[in-house]
Structure 1
Amino acid sequence: MSRMVNCQLLKKEAPGLEEVPHPGELGIRIYENISAEGWRQWMDRLTIIMNEMQLSTADPRALEIIEQHMTGFLFGEGEEGQMPAGFQPPPAKK
């Protein structure tokens, strides 16, 4: 039976993550308050943010930006986490 959490992103009770997804206190906070589905949604958003902003995880400043977007998206804190300015989703497949 999976662990249930009251997901702050989805605003409902849902199955939680199987392990802490990020180092440090932020990772523990995510583990305790974000569901597996909420984390999947963040991973999709992260891909868009990294591509649009041309971020590299090898750059320490990029990691700070990613964490700001992570807390903005998952917890609604700060002004980050939204779609990057000018983002245009690809056209729907026919």
Structure 2
Amino acid sequence: MSNTVFCRKYHQELEALPFPPLPGKQGQEIQATVSKKAWDEWQALQTRLINEKHLNMLDPDSRAYLMTQMERFFDNQETDQAEGYVPPSQA
């Protein structure tokens, strides 16, 4: 059986991340408060934002922008979206 965590995004017990997704204290906090489901959804949004907004991950401002968006996503606040993104149909 896998470990669970009380997910701050979904407010329920869900499967936990197997290891901290980021180095240091921030990664440990995410592992302790964010579910694998929420992290996977964030990764998809992050990828769209990086691609659509042509973010350079070597640029500290781009990294700070993504960290802000990540916190907003996990706290169920409004986040930026990739312009023109059309989600796959649920057919």
Equivalent residue number for residue 70 of structure 1: 70
Instruction: Select between 2-11 and 34-43 the one with higher mean Cα deviation.
Output: 2-11
Structure 1: 5+ residue stretches without partners: none
Deviation track 1:8-44 (CA, whole Å, cap 9, x = no partner) reads 1122111100000012322122100111111100000
TM-score (norm 2): 0.83
Q: Which residues of structure 2 form unaligned runs of 5+?
A: none
Aligned to 2:34: 34
Q: Is the 8 A contact 1:9 1:74 kept in 2?
A: yes
Question: Could you list the per-position Cα deviations for residues 50-80 of structure 1 after superposition, in whole angstroms to 9, with x for gaps in the alignment?
Answer: 1121112121211111111111111246x6x
Give the structure, 1 or 2, with the largest relative contact order (CA under 8 Å, sep 6 or more).
Answer: 2
Does the alignment pair 1:88 with 2:68?
Answer: no
* Offset, 1:90: 6.1
Give the partner amino acid of 1:32: A
Identity of aligned residues (%): 28
